[in-house]
Structure 1
Amino acid sequence: MVVSKYVNVEGASLHYLSREEESAENPLLIMFHGFPENAHTWEALMATLPTSLDIIAPDLPGYHLSSPLPSETDYQVPSLISRMAAFIEKVQKGRKVILLGHDWGGAIAWPLAAFHQTLISKLIIVNAAHPSCFTRAIKTSSTQRAKSLYISALIDKGAERTLTNTSFTLLKNMLGNGFFEKETSYSRTLLNDWSKPETLSAMLNYYRQMPQQVPQKNVPEHVLDDIRVPEIFIHCPTLLLWGEQDDAFDLSVLDKIEHYVPLIIKRFNPHASHWLHREKPEWVQKEVINFIGL
């Protein structure tokens, strides 16, 4: 049974969904969601995974039932990594941790696994670009810069007002054709989240505090030359699951990823989009089970 729990991390409350026996024999799968979702995005996948696996899925800081953070700068990636590593330490309870991240959850999971190596035994990424590869792609790929243009609307000073006044059309379109056509408890939850000014601002702060803002499609070469590619290496076994119909990422974001993640296994689904975990939960479940070795 999945239950809601809360834990205080660095002075802020983090809400998470829990399906646990809290047995030291069970590995613990911790799942970080992306923008503009919340922990309930994982419910279809959680329902298919065996009970020999404990599962925790937090609402990222500021999302849904997790407290907004005091300062906009608290949403900078190093601060988020520190906070989520502290969260893992609080809920781990002696279990081997497999970290899974999608989208922004993946953007946090990649460097967390790099900089907190003793916390994470294995890493699973669903449609989230490695920070080094993403930065290189926006330097070298006009296609990726074009796919990332939506970010400019999210970091605009008037983004909250624009999104609200347009009934969150941009966010609805992000989640894929048909997602809101059939009303569900999850879609209602998302609309309720987005309608809360403090929550919406917290969500947008992830983009506003990105370490490297995305340049425009036809930016001058000297601006691109000045972008520094971070060197972030992940040494644990890593599974990359990728829906090939991704509107947010060009496949160039995967070029030379083995340089940064030598123990990577890549699996592609040609029929899924950026929302692979929701569209193909059975496919994801099989890949996850094989990778963990259950």
Structure 2
Amino acid sequence: MQERRIDLNGHGFHLREWGPPDAPAILALHGFPEYGGAWADLAEHLKGVRLIAPDQRGFGQSWAPQEVRDYATGKLVGDMATLIDRIGAPVIVLGHDWGAAVAYGLAMAHPHLVSRLIVMNGVHPAPFQDALAKGGAQTAASQYIPWLRAEGAEDILAANGFARLQSLFAAQMDMAWLSGDRLAAYKAEWARPGRMTGMLNWYRASPLVVPEPDRPATGLPALPRDRLRVPMPHLLIWGKNDTALLPEATEGLEAYCADLTRITVANADHWLHHQQPARVASLIRDWIERA
């Protein structure tokens, strides 16, 4: 694994890279509350590619502005569009959790930069907002979002050695992978000045509306659905036991995708790339090789 700094649009970003520099590139985009090092497990099994994993804006060792407006989706996508230009377009883009939101943004707004799109337990904005608007199971599962958007949430999450942050997604999911030296590394990244605010600003800047459970939302702003198409081949890998993102959050995804492949991974949840990295790597390799 190699690490380096890069300037993107006048700001410093930290990159980790695995694999031969002349191999086909996969841009791997982490989610909350991870950082680029989260891809180490997968990289160990994903041979023959150049896996490039930035700490995204607000995370790890990358630029972490403190204003919510600096985390608008267009700016997050713009960071990675500039990075792909540096890598050499087009590339395969892989996104998990919030990283999937940026991956979808790249695929929809900059399709010339993305040859193939891979998403793991992440959601396209239209089906996700539709699921939230129903006020059903996904709405109930997403009630942590308004809490994370609240003022002062960073202090609560950081207290007692980040105890609340560790437990946030542990309910009913397997967090055995986050322990020992790995947990110490995560805590070191979370403790960098301003990072907790930067990480939470992804939630605060998002236009998603999360209604109260059992109360369907009304009067939502119309989504520009004609601009939310994914024109390249798209692989969706889903950890079956995810309790934060439910299958209903992807219902209707086919309407936005020209070429969608769905694969469900049993005995895995939201953190499937840590729980079953060999299986996930095999699925990715097989799908790419079938092209």
Return the TM-score normalized by structure 1: 0.91
Shift of 1:154: 0.9
Whether 1:36 aligns to 2:19 is: no
Shift of 1:166: 4.7
Query: What is the correspondence of 1:153-232 to structure 2 with a 5 Å cutoff?
Result: 153-173=147-167, 174=169, 176-179=173-176, 182-184=179-181, 186-219=182-215, 221=216, 223-231=217-225, 232=228
Per-residue CA deviations over 1:12-71 (Å, capped at 9, x if unaligned) read 111111124332xx3101100010011111101101112x31111111112111121363
Task: Give the equivalent residue in structure 1 for 2:139.
Answer: 145
Q: Distance in 2 between matches of 1:49 and 1:20?
A: 9
Q: 1:254 to 1:216 in 2, by over 3 A?
A: same
Aligned AA for 2:120? V
- The 8 Å contact of residues 45 and 277 in structure 1, kept in 2 or not, is answered as yes
Q: Distance in 1 between matches of 2:175 and 2:130?
A: 33
Query: What is the correspondence of 1:56-95 to structure 2 with a 5 Å cutoff?
Result: 56-69=52-65, 71-92=67-88
List alignment gaps of at least 5 residues for structure 1. Answer: none
Worse-superposed segment, 12-21 or 128-137:
12-21
- The 8 Å contact of residues 114 and 234 in structure 1, kept in 2 or not, is answered as yes
- The 8 Å contact of residues 77 and 105 in structure 2, kept in 1 or not, is answered as yes
Q: Which of 94, 119, 126 is matched with 1:132 structurally?
A: 126
Task: Give the equivalent residue in structure 2 for 1:290.
Answer: 286
- The 8 Å contact of residues 236 and 261 in structure 2, kept in 1 or not, is answered as yes
Q: Distance in 2 between matches of 1:119 and 1:166?
A: 43
Shift of 1:265: 0.2
- The 8 Å contact of residues 28 and 95 in structure 2, kept in 1 or not, is answered as yes
Q: Distance in 2 between matches of 1:112 and 1:289?
A: 22
Q: Distance in 2 between matches of 1:224 and 1:199?
A: 34
Task: Give the equivalent residue in structure 2 for 1:105.
Answer: 99
Task: Give the equivalent residue in structure 2 for 1:255.
Answer: 251
Q: Distance in 2 between matches of 1:164 and 1:182?
A: 17
Q: 1:161 to 1:70 in 2, by over 3 A?
A: closer
Task: Give the equivalent residue in structure 2 for 1:120.
Answer: 114
Q: 1:167 to 1:53 in 2, by over 3 A?
A: same
**3-state SS in 2 of match to 1:259:** helix
Aligned AA for 1:64? G
Q: 1:147 to 1:8 in 2, by over 3 A?
A: same
Q: What is the aligned length?
A: 285
- The 8 Å contact of residues 101 and 125 in structure 2, kept in 1 or not, is answered as yes
Q: Distance in 1 between matches of 2:11 and 2:256?
A: 33
C-alpha RMSD of the superposition: 1.8
- The 8 Å contact of residues 136 and 229 in structure 1, kept in 2 or not, is answered as no
**3-state SS in 2 of match to 1:6:** strand
List alignment gaps of at least 5 residues for structure 2. Answer: none
- The 8 Å contact of residues 247 and 273 in structure 1, kept in 2 or not, is answered as yes
Whether 1:48 aligns to 2:45 is: yes
Whether 1:242 aligns to 2:241 is: no
Per-residue CA deviations over 1:127-155 (Å, capped at 9, x if unaligned) read 00111110111112411111100112211
Aligned AA for 1:240? L
Aligned AA for 1:134? F
